[in-house]
A and B are shown apart, each in its own frame.
Chain A
Amino acid sequence: AQKVTQAQTEISVVEKEDVTLDCVYETRDTTYYLFWYKQPPSGELVFLIRRNSFDEQNEISGRYSWNFQKSTSSFNFTITASQVVDSAVYFCALSEAWTGFQKLVFGTGTRLLVSP
C-alpha cells in the first residue's frame, strides 16, 4: 500500500531563513511519481514539481530545490531565503504508475509560516 508521511505539522521561520520540508513515502511499486503541491491561504492547490522514480537527480527551481533519495524513500523540499509569500500548506504526494491515472496519495501537509 502507498503511504506518504510528512512528520512536520507546522514550521515557523523568519524571512530569509532556509527551510526544509520532509517527505517520506512507502510504495511496493518500482515505478512511481512524487509530487509537491502548495496550498496558499486562498485555498487553491498549486503544482510545484513532479519526479519519477527513475530520476534521482536533484532539482532546483529558483529558491526551491528538491532532494530525492530512493535509499531512504524521501523527497524533501527546501526553500532558500524564505519569503512571507511562501507561507502556505505544502503537500507531498505519491502516485503509483500501475494505476495509469493520477490516483495521488497525499501526505497530511506541512504548514509553513514565514514571518517578516
Chain B
Amino acid sequence: DTAVSQTPKYLVTQMGNDKSIKCEQNLGHDTMYWYKQDSKKFLKIMFSYNNKELIINETVPNRFSPKSPDKAHLNLHINSLELGDSAVYFCASSQDLADTSTNEKLFFGSGTQLSVL
C-alpha cells in the first residue's frame, strides 16, 4: 500500500483552466503539506495543514486553494492556471513535530507533473 498517494501523476492543461490534484495518506499522520518543485529542481513549501487546519501558507497566490476534508486528505485546487504554474507538485505528510522526542520524517508522494500550455 502506498503511504502517500497523489493523483494524477501527469496533468497537461491549457492556460486559464481550473484543475485539482488529490492527495491521500494512510499513515495516520496529523499533518499534510504541498511542496512545489520548479524546473530547476528547487523545492519550496506551499501549504501545511494540521488536523484539517491551515498552518503554513507561504505567500502562494490566491488561485491556489488547498482543501482538507479530513486529516487523511489534502487536495490542491488551482484556478486560472498560468504558464508559470508548470512544475512538479509533491504532497507529503508527517506526525506533529511539536513532540520533538519523536524521530519523525516527511513522507512524500510520488509527485504530480503539471504542464500548462
Binding site for B on A (CB under 8 A): 31, 33, 35, 37, 39, 42-45, 47, 50, 52, 89, 91, 93, 95, 97, 99-106, 108-109
Is the C-beta of B66 less than 8 angstroms from some C-beta in chain A?
no
CB pair A104–B41 under 8 Å, yes or no, is no
Give B39-61 interface residues, CB cut-off 8 Å to A. 40-45, 48, 50, 55-56
CB pair B100–A52 under 8 Å, yes or no, is yes
A44, A99, A102, A106: the one within 8 Å of B111 (CB): A44
CB pair A102–B97 under 8 Å, yes or no, is yes
Q: How many A-B residue pairs have CB under 8 A?
A: 72
CB pair B96–A47 under 8 Å, yes or no, is no
CB pair A47–B105 under 8 Å, yes or no, is yes
Is the C-beta of B12 less than 8 angstroms from some C-beta in chain A?
no
Binding site for A on B (CB under 8 A): 31, 33, 35, 40-45, 48, 50, 55-56, 88, 90, 92, 94, 96-98, 100, 103-111, 113
Rounded to whole angstroms, the CA-CA distance of A99 and B107 in the bound complex is 18
A62 to chain B, nearest CB (A): 18
CB pair B98–A104 under 8 Å, yes or no, is no
CB pair A44–B110 under 8 Å, yes or no, is yes
Interfacial chain A residues near B110, Cβ < 8 Å: 42-44
Rounded to whole angstroms, the CA-CA distance of A44 and B107 in the bound complex is 10
CB pair A45–B31 under 8 Å, yes or no, is no
B94 to A, closest residue via Cβ: A102
